């Protein structure tokens, strides 16, 4: 049977498990949006701007597996570029779809709006070619073949892809049959790699796995947890991989903060005679300024589509195939070991001005099963990553790309991907101001998160990194965030006493934070809970300060 190209594209999105599509309308993408809206399996979400739409699609994909964002030509797609770049940096599979002018105008190089005065209809595709795994500019002749190729690339690499769809090609009829995506490892190479890995693990007495973000992207959470339980192997996680492992599992030894981690963790890691990498990325922010670097014990490195064993690369070997093969391998189960103390201990509650180091132990106390926690970059992500998660929780942060403002719309996308989980957003006022417009969609779609806003009067992480912490460029404008909530929620007179959609708390002490979170446990079931935490502008979490000191000691500055 034949259907329109736009209908086929919508069908392919749903086939990936995508149910919500983010973006903004524009006259070049109306036909695409028509196909999305009429598809009963898809919900169109008008974002407040294209950057937020890309961030939301990114957050959605981190939870759901894949995401999609649709914009119009030129002005719309370039506004989304940074969001797609972040997804590319962190292997987040987002389909970027753009509606472009009719083919006849492109061929004639007609001077149309959203283009340059010297038209270049392919300039924006070229821009996206640097931040996506592949791009395509559809025609009536190539539409079916190219859509299928691009979607196969998306599934294989778990990186963003770009599709430009001209107005007239939207209604062109193509076959609706979806081809099976067959992505399999080279059987001989796979068997060699599994054999070698098995031999190395069996000669080790005390191996430890370091897991990370790629296991999330390839949806291998269950396999990783089954592997450590079946073979009794201890495991730690990098920041980008947090939430992958059930942190209540006795094999989990805590987050890998390297030399900045607790003494028990360092002692356990030092005792290992073999380190196995599951999808690891040893970047500066993911290692707390290289507080952990692999040494000669790091002999096995499983990545998305290859494996390195003793520095020998085994190509065309996919992570899902190798983990499933290893689960069937003849690996000797390791001896039991004592569990390691993880996360934060109990913090003293007082009426003194709150310190940032007190925030995260208190938040940890109120975490529950089935939470989704989103942590903004800056001074929040490091101490937040140390919190113990309850089982079946999600944790997302943009650690590699580190674009401030990402967390607010990304958390909206994450909430839309799994409406059953309670959402907790941890952000700072500097980041929040960049993308706060997306708060309107929290109210529109009845998303009821607990939002903790750290208000420390400016860009505190930049103050730490600057030569002079009082440099004026690290100051930001002061906002009344309660008034902002009233704006985005459409508050009317008498609203707070009759059917309020949000509850606001101003917190200046640990006692006030503890009380606010206690109340939030009940209030969040009915409304959005917003907790603004005021700290001194130069108050920096110890884990952040230690990582900065470590970086300066290593690299100067």
Looking at 175, 203, 223, which one is the last position of a domain?
175
Global model pTM greater than 0.85: yes
Question: Pick from 82, 30, 100, 12: which is nearest to 434 by CA?
Answer: 82
Please report the pLDDT score of residue 495 as a whole number: 52
Q: What is the CATH number of the domain that holds 119?
A: 3.40.50.970
* One domain for residues 484 and 369: yes
547 inside domain: yes
349 inside domain: no
Please report the pLDDT score of residue 497 as a whole number: 47
Half-sphere exposure of 172 (CA within 13 A, CB side): 18
Q: Give the 3-state secondary structure of residue 423.
A: strand
* One domain for residues 446 and 501: yes
Digits of tens for pLDDT over the chain (557 positions)?
999 999 999 999 999 999 999 999 999 999 999 999 999 999 999 999 999 999 999 999 999 999 999 999 999 999 999 999 999 999 999 999 999 999 999 999 999 999 999 999 999 999 999 999 999 999 999 999 999 999 999 999 999 999 999 999 999 999 999 999 988 999 999 999 999 999 999 999 999 999 999 999 999 999 999 999 999 999 999 999 999 999 999 999 999 999 999 999 999 999 999 999 999 999 999 999 999 999 999 999 999 999 999 999 999 999 999 999 999 999 999 998 888 889 999 999 999 999 999 999 999 999 999 999 999 998 999 999 999 999 999 999 999 999 999 999 999 999 999 999 999 999 999 999 999 999 999 999 999 999 999 999 877 677 666 777 777 777 788 999 999 999 999 875 445 545 579 999 999 999 999 999 999 999 999 999 999 999 998 899 999 989 888 877 877 65
Question: How do the residues of the chain divide into helix, strand and coil, expressed in percent and rounded to 5?
Answer: 40, 20, 40
* One domain for residues 459 and 486: yes
Domain count, the chain: 3
* One domain for residues 317 and 282: yes
- Both tokens of 420, joined, read 């059953």
- Output DSSP code: residue 310: T
Count of positions (residues) in the chain: 557
182 inside domain: no
Q: What is the CATH number of the domain that holds 262?
A: 3.40.50.1220
* One domain for residues 509 and 368: yes
* One domain for residues 378 and 508: yes
Range of the domain at 283: 187-327
CA dihedral for 310, 311, 317, 322, sign (positive or negative):
positive
* One domain for residues 386 and 518: yes
Looking at 175, 196, 216, which one is the last position of a domain?
175
Neighbours of 539 (CB within 10 A): 15
* One domain for residues 529 and 410: yes
């Amino acid at each position: 049977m034949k259907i329109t190209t736009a209908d086929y594209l919508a069908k392919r999105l749903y086939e990936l498990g995508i149910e919500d599509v983010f973006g903004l309308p524009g006259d070049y993408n109306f036909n695409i949006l028509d196909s999305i809206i009429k598809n009963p399996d898809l919900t169109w979400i008008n974002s407040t701007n294209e950057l937020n739409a890309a961030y939301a699609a990114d957050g959605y994909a981190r939870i759901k597996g894949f995401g999609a964002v649709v914009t119009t030509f030129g002005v719309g797609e370039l506004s989304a570029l940074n969001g797609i770049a972040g997804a590319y940096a962190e292997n987040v599979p987002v389909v970027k779809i753009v509606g472009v002018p009719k083919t006849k105008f492109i061929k004639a190089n007609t001077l149309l709006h959203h283009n340059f005065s010297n038209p270049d209809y392919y300039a924006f595709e070229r821009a996206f070619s640097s931040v996506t795994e592949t791009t395509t500019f559809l025609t009536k002749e190539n539409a079916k073949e190219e859509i299928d190729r691009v979607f196969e690339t998306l599934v294989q690499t778990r990186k963003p892809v770009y599709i430009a769809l001209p107005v007239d090609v939207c209604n062109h009829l193509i076959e609706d049959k979806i081809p099976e995506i067959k992505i399999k490892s080279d059987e001989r190479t796979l068997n060699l790699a599994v054999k070698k890995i098995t031999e190395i693990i069996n000669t080790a007495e005390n191996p430890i796995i370091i897991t990370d973000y790629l296991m999330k992207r390839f949806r291998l959470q269950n396999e990783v947890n089954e592997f450590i339980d079946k073979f009794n192997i201890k495991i730690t996680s990098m920041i980008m991989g947090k939430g992958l492992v059930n942190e209540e599992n006795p094999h989990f030894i805590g987050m890998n903060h390297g030399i900045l981690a607790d003494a028990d963790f360092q002692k356990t890691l030092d005792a290992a005679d073999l380190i196995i990498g599951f999808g690891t990325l040893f970047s500066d922010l993911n290692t707390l300024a290289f507080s952990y670097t692999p040494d000669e014990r790091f002999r096995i490195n499983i990545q998305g589509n290859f494996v390195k064993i003793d520095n020998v690369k085994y190509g065309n070997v996919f992570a899902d195939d190798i983990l499933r093969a290893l689960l069937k391998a003849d690996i000797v189960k390791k001896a039991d070991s004592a569990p390691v103390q993880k996360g934060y201990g109990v913090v003293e509650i007082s009426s003194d001005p709150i310190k940032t180091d007190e925030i995260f132990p208190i938040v940890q106390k109120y975490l529950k099963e089935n939470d989704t926690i989103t942590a903004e970059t800056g001074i929040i992500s490091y101490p937040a990553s140390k919190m113990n998660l309850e089982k079946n929780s999600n944790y997302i942060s943009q650690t590699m790309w580190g674009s401030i403002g990402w967390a607010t719309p990304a958390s909206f996308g994450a909430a839309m991907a799994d409406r059953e989980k309670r959402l907790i957003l941890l952000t700072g006022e500097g980041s929040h101001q960049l993308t706060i417009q997306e708060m309107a969609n929290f109210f529109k779609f009845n998303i009821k998160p607990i939002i903790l806003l750290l208000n420390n009067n400016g860009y505190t992480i930049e103050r730490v990194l600057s030569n002079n912490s009082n440099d004026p460029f690290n100051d930001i404008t002061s906002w009344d965030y309660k008034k902002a909530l009233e704006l985005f929620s459409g508050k009317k007179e008498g609203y707070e006493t009759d059917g309020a959609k949000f509850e606001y708390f101003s917190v200046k002490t640990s006692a006030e934070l503890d009380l606010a979170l206690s109340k939030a446990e009940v209030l969040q079931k009915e409304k959005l809970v917003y907790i603004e935490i005021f700290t001194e502008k130069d108050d920096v979490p110890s884990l952040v300060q230690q990582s900065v000191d470590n970086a300066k000691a290593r690299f100067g500055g």
